Homo-oligomer: A and B are copies of this chain.
Amino acid sequence: MRVPKKERQRLLQETIDRNPFIKDEELSKQFAVSIQTIRLDRMELKIPEVRERIKHVASERLDEVKSLALSEVIGDMIDLKLDESAISVLDIEREHVFSRNEIARGHILFAQANSLAVALINDELALTTKADIRFSRQVHLGERVVAKARVIKLRRDGRTDVTVESYVGDECVFSGDFTIYRRGEEEQA
C-alpha cells in the first residue's frame, strides 16, 4: 500500500472539505488510486457526489441571505418580555473574531447588545440614539455570550433607557447603557 487507507481517507475528507468542487477523477489522480477506490472511500465516509456537494454549498448561501435579512437580532433570542427584559445567545465563530488572535471584534458584541435592546422595544420603529459601552474582558473563539437587556426607564418623550450586560459563564464581558428612540423620524440607529 502506498499510503494506509485510514490516512488516505482522512486526507480525502480534508481535501473535499477545503474544495467541495473537486471531482472523483481528480481525487483519484491526486491520491494515485483508482476512481473506484475514491468512490468506496466516499461511501464509507458518507461524502456525497460532487453535484450534491455543490448544491449544498449553494443552498447554504441562499439560506444565509435569507437569515441575514430576517435576523433583526444578532444572536438567538431566547427570552423576550416586551418593554421589560430580553436575553439572547451568540456563539462566537470564526467570522466574529480577529484572525490574528481569535478575539471577538468589539462591534460583534455591540451588535448583539444593540439589536437586543432595539428588539426589546414594543414599537414599530425603534432606533438607537446613544450608547455608553464598556468591554470588560476579551471574548475568544468558541465562547458563548449571553446578553441580558433590561428596560431602566420609559420616558414620556419617546426615549427608553435600556441597559445590557453580556456574560461568558458568570463573567461580565460587556456592558452598555442604551437610549432608544421610538416611533420618531428624527433620530438614528
A interface residues, Cβ below 8 angstroms from B: 20-21, 51, 54-55, 57-62, 64-65, 68-69, 72, 74, 94-95, 98-101, 103-107, 109-111, 114-115, 118, 124-125, 127-139, 173-174, 185-189
Contacts and interface: CB of A to CB of B under 8 A. Distances in A.
B69 A189 contact: no
Given A137-B187, A174-B188, A189-B135, A107 B107 contact: yes
Task: State the copy count for this chain.
Answer: 2
Contacts of A69: 94-95, 99
B187 A138 contact: yes
Nearest to A97: B69
Given A100-B124, A129-B134, 5 more contacts: A65-B95, A69-B94, A104-B188, A107-B110, A133-B133
